[in-house]
Amino acid sequence: MTYTTGMRSLSVALLTTLSLLRPDLARAGGDYAGPGTPGNAPDRVQRVQVEVAADFLGTTLELAIKGKDRTAVDARLETILETLRKRFEGQDGWEARELDRTFAAPVRKSGSKSSFISLSVEDEEPKADQPVVATARFSLRGPAENGLKTVEILRAKASDLVDLKNEDERSRVSPIAYGLASAEDHRDELLDQIKEDVANAKSHLPEGEMRLEIAGLADPVQVRHLGGNRFVVWMNYRLGFVSPKAEKTTK
């Protein structure tokens, strides 16, 4: 058996050992990313993950106020927004965050019946008696742990902001759903798992014959909704085994 073939067989055996130590990684890890170089094992994609609970329950509130006087339309929208902000003010775990806002601008004709509002260029001057519309979108959030109670409170906070009898005032609330504030908040926990995997792999390395190479630790943390208030966050990283002797031959 040649040196290269022997090192490749040893490297693949070490990767197999790591998969046996962590069968969850064996299922989640991908195929070899490449054939490797003489004396080195091909990098294998590994995966660490953790299941986490939602951080919040949230929805998006859309508002649109229409009229013929720009000043009056903007003032009316601001009054509504002040009411909304007060409903969330000084309450831990509750948040009303502005996503975007447009000041009164002429309405653009649109054939789509599904669009909430349709605006033209903001600096376009409206013609006489031409209606203008001002809009706002807010992200509304409440504590996830309170479940249905939070849902009821969010609905109440988002209701009765506009005059339902006035066709020129409209509001729409998206379905309330669980959310995760930031998958990156769990990076340290995932890195701890990777450290454990690397330590296990190192313990099976023949002394002086192989060393580990790790890549992908700076890649973003991924997230997927499992359903209900549960999410899974994960990181992929690449683990390879390099022979010091092979390194010398390439220099």
pLDDT digits (tens, 9 = 90+) for 30-52: 333 344 444 445 467 889 999 99
Same domain, 156 and 192: no
pLDDT above 70: residue 114? no
Instruction: Count the Cβ atoms, other than its own, within 10 Å of residue 187.
Output: 16
Q: Answer yes or no: is pLDDT of 209 > 50.
A: yes
194 and 174 in one domain? no
Angstrom distance (rounded) from CA 217 to CA 163: 53
Structural domain boundaries, residue 111? 56-179
Q: Are residues 64 and 169 in the same domain?
A: yes
**Domain boundary residue, one of 135, 161, 179:** 179
Cβ neighbors of 69 (< 8 A, separation 6 or more) are 132
Query: Does the pLDDT value for residue 109 go beyond 50?
Result: yes
In this structure, the answer to whether residues 72 and 95 fall within a common structural domain is yes
Tell me what pLDDT residue 66 has. Answer: 95
> How far is the C-alpha of 21 from the C-alpha of 204, rounded, in Å?
11
CATH number at residue 76: 3.30.70.360
Residues 160 and 192 grouped into a single domain: no
Q: What is the pLDDT of residue 29?
A: 37
Q: Are 25 and 190 in contact (CB under 8 A)?
A: no
Rounded average pLDDT over 112-131: 56
Q: What radius of gyration, in Å, describes the C-alpha atoms of the chain?
A: 29
| pLDDT for the residue 178 | 97
The candidate with the shortest Cα–Cα distance to 59, out of 146, 153, 140, 151, is 140
Q: Is the pLDDT of residue 16 over 50?
A: no
Task: Report the pLDDT averaged over residues 182-192.
Answer: 95
The reply to whether 172 and 187 lie within a common domain is no
Alpha carbon distance 2, 6 (integer Å):
6
140 lies in the same domain as 213: no
Q: Which of 138, 154, 179 is the last residue of a domain?
A: 179
100 forms bridges with which residues in the sheet?
137
Handedness of CA 121, 124, 127, 130 (dihedral sign): positive
**Domain match, 99 and 170 both:** yes
- Mean pLDDT confidence for 123-147: 85
| pLDDT exceeds cutoff 80 at 206 | no
Question: What does the alpha-carbon distance between residue 105 and residue 129 come to, in Å, rounded to a whole number?
Answer: 13
pLDDT of residue 248: 52
* Ranges assigned E (strand) in the chain: 44-53, 56-67, 95-106, 132-143, 169-173, 177-179, 211-215, 222-227, 230-242
Task: Verify that 48 and 81 share a domain, yes or no.
Answer: no
Per-residue confidence band for 239, with pLDDT thresholds at 50, 70 and 90: confident
Alpha-carbon torsion 184, 185, 187, 190, what sign? negative
Half-sphere exposure of 231 (CA within 13 A, CB side): 22
Give the closest residue to 161 by CA, choosing from 79, 60, 99: 79
Q: Do 82 and 139 share a domain, yes or no?
A: yes
Q: Taking the alpha carbons of 43, 44, 45, 49 in that order, is the dihedral positive or negative? A: negative
End position of a domain, from candidates 179, 203, 226: 179
The domain total for the chain is 2
CB neighbours (10 Å) of residue 36?
A: 20
Token reading at 119 = 């605006």
DSSP 20: H
